[in-house]
Amino acid sequence: MDPRKLHSEYGLDERLADSGCAYCGAPPDTVDHVPSRVFLDDPLPDNLPVVPACKNCNGSFSRDEEYLACFLECVVAGTTDADHVRRPKIARALSHAPSLAALIGATCVESSGHLAWAPDAERVGRVLLKLARGHHLYEFSYPQHEEPEGLSFAPLMALSPDSRLRFESAGSDLRAWPEIGSRAFLRAVGVGPFAPSGRDWVEVQQDRYRYSVVEGGPVRIVLGEYLACVVTW
């Protein structure tokens, strides 16, 4: 498919038409939502960002994304019982995939009256890196296919007050202004969908998903106001 047809057929930002797949650089033949819709509640936000992707990448992350979304909701709810999770989308997924619910449940242990959940770090890392690459391309109009120098994630509540402050404000001092005309530049001056009031966080959906991308700096992501992630290159 001519990548430029993705602009007319799928609403892809025309500035991204020649960038290749956001995740591997192959010629794109489809688009992918960033963030993935499984992390958001219905109704979805208007103008949800999309990036070019090849069909292989677009499909290969689906199971890991569903796993992470379900894992997070089960941790918040304290159960894998679909009848007791708050997000309808996740309740349906757990009901339709009892093996997934069992897999997540097997990672939970009780200690001193508290539940401890151990995620599959490799699967979580794949999803977070994918999201970070998508945000980087969408904001700066050029891809980031190199392996990251660092990728870390932890529950927000597990961060110390100083660590939480650094995480929340790490993008307050940009090393340089983004390229004029890039998505990040438009956001910095308050233009475009999900444009933040300041220059730090882009809130895609309240309490569900926000991110921050800094030119020459880290990509930060918060899922469900629970899981914090930092990816650096």
pLDDT at 4: 52
Note the pLDDT tens digit of each residue in 194-232.
555 445 799 999 999 999 998 778 999 999 999 999 999
pLDDT at 177 over 60: no
Integer Cα distance of 31 and 5 in angstroms: 11
Q: What is the pLDDT of residue 107?
A: 92
* Nearest one of 153, 178, 146 to 167, comparing CA atoms: 153
Write the pLDDT tens digit of every residue in 42-70: 999 988 889 999 999 999 999 999 999 99
Evaluate whether 220 touches 138 at the Cβ level (below 8 Å).
no
Which one-letter amino acid corresponds to residue 13?
D
Let me know: does 29 contact 1? Beta carbons within 8 Å: yes
Q: Please state whether the peptide bond connecting residue 45 to the residue before it is cis, i.e. omega within 30 degrees of 0.
A: no
What tokens were used for 162? 């100083």
Q: What pLDDT was estimated at residue 47? A: 84
Query: Among positive and negative, which fits the CA dihedral 137, 139, 142, 145?
Result: negative
